[in-house]
Amino acid sequence: MFSERLNRLPKYLFAEIDEMKRKKIEEGVDVIDFGVGDPDLPTPKHIVEAMKRAVEKPENHKYPSYEGMLEFRQAVAEFYERRKGVKLDPEREVIALIGSKEGIAHLPLAYVNDGDYTIVPDPAYPVYYAGTILADGIPYRIPLRKENGFLPDFDEIPSDVAKKAKIMFLNYPNNPTSAVAEKEFIKSAVDFCIDNNIILAHDFAYGEITFDGYRAKSFLEVDNAFEVCIEFNSLSKTFNMTGWRIGFAVGNSDILKGLLKVKTNVDSGVFQAVQEASITALRSDDSVIEGICKVYEKRRNVLVKGLKELGLNVEKPKATFYVWCEVPEGYTSVEFTKKLLDSAGILVTPGVGFGEHGEGFVRFALTRDVDTIVKAVERLKNIEL
């Protein structure tokens, strides 16, 4: 029998959606899948070539170090300085992760005791919640509302929760709402966490996927952030490397030590060949990231224009590869998802799958090419919403 903590994990709504998709495909429907948050584009060639060279080296076939190769951590520090103007000490303020998900899921094991709270946004990437449950903590959800630009209001957190909270997870640019955070908000999050002695765990997985010249802020850019903040980042979305499983955590060196202690006991680091290829990725010319963002920007323009023409309420995102679209009146997000699949063969993700405050929205991932998006919009024109 499963442990109690495993039984406490919420049912994964997305499994049900996958089942719906499978049935449609079996019926012969050409399903257009906007559900997947996984880039359709391949990893840039120069990174793949670096991997080929790295995999040939016998020294890379051994156990890697737990914290990551120093040269990888140096490349991360250079990347942060170049892209965000943030200075990091590669020896103390950077560790390698097996994807940012791994670090996010393990952080509560280092800092949460039985019955402690973590503060997690709603809607959100489900791992903040699940990681807390797996550490026997209690996730306290704070709503992200449209009228607040999908930023939480820290005044809504009861003081007894704030006192017993060990970690607050935030994520900007945000999955699923695609909202972004500016310095004033980030400063208020840092201040809140300093005042309440809470670790601020910022998930910056979409920090480079930005449009129209917009630059997403690292939380480490604001004053005093190094006192309380650990920032999770990843090569997955930035360089189309989701399958490679490499990310990193940066920020407060003491907080990183706790995470590293957990990791030392449960994993043995990232394959060095992957780290070497990632050094090449992080040192790429900035035009590589710009090229990737241009692709999503074009897709975003086509999809948002199409959805608006259909009368749907949707904002043009400045960042992430998601479009967060309000469902028309009379539908829940699951009902609208079913309607789109049944009537148009289009698969989206219902907002409620990310938390109850995701209700009223569906998420389109821009992981399909422009021609497919045009085809989807044409199909939508033919259904009654």
Ligand X SMILES: Cc1ncc(COP(=O)(O)O)c(C=O)c1O
The contact set with ligand X (CB under 6 A) reads 37, 99-101, 125, 171, 175, 203, 205, 234, 236, 242, 247
Quote the tokens at residue 271: 């394959």
CB 224, min distance to ligand X, A = 24
* Tokens encoding 9: 């994990």
**Distance from C-alpha of 201 to C-alpha of 192, rounded to nearest angstrom:** 13
Q: Which is nearer to ligand X, 118 or 171 (CB)?
A: 171
| CB closer to ligand X, 125 vs 296 | 125
Distance between CA atoms of residues 22 and 379, nearest Å: 20
Q: Which is nearer to ligand X, 98 or 344 (CB)?
A: 98
**Nearest distance in Å: CB 204, ligand X:** 8
Q: By C-beta, is 73 or 164 nearer to ligand X?
A: 73
Give 90 or 173: the residue with its C-beta nearer to ligand X.
173
In whole angstroms, the minimum distance from the beta carbon of 45 to ligand X comes to 21
Q: How many CB atoms lie within 10 A of CB 194?
A: 15
Q: Work out how close the CB of 99 gets to ligand X at its nearest, in angstroms, rounded to a whole number.
A: 3
Dihedral pair phi/psi, residue 119, rounded to 5°? -105, 120
Question: Closer to ligand X at the Cβ: 100 or 337?
Answer: 100
Radius of gyration of the chain (CA): 21
Minimum CB–partner distance for residue 102 and ligand X (Å): 6
Tokens 């709503």 belong to which residue?
143
Nearest distance from residue 110's CB to ligand X, in Å? 18
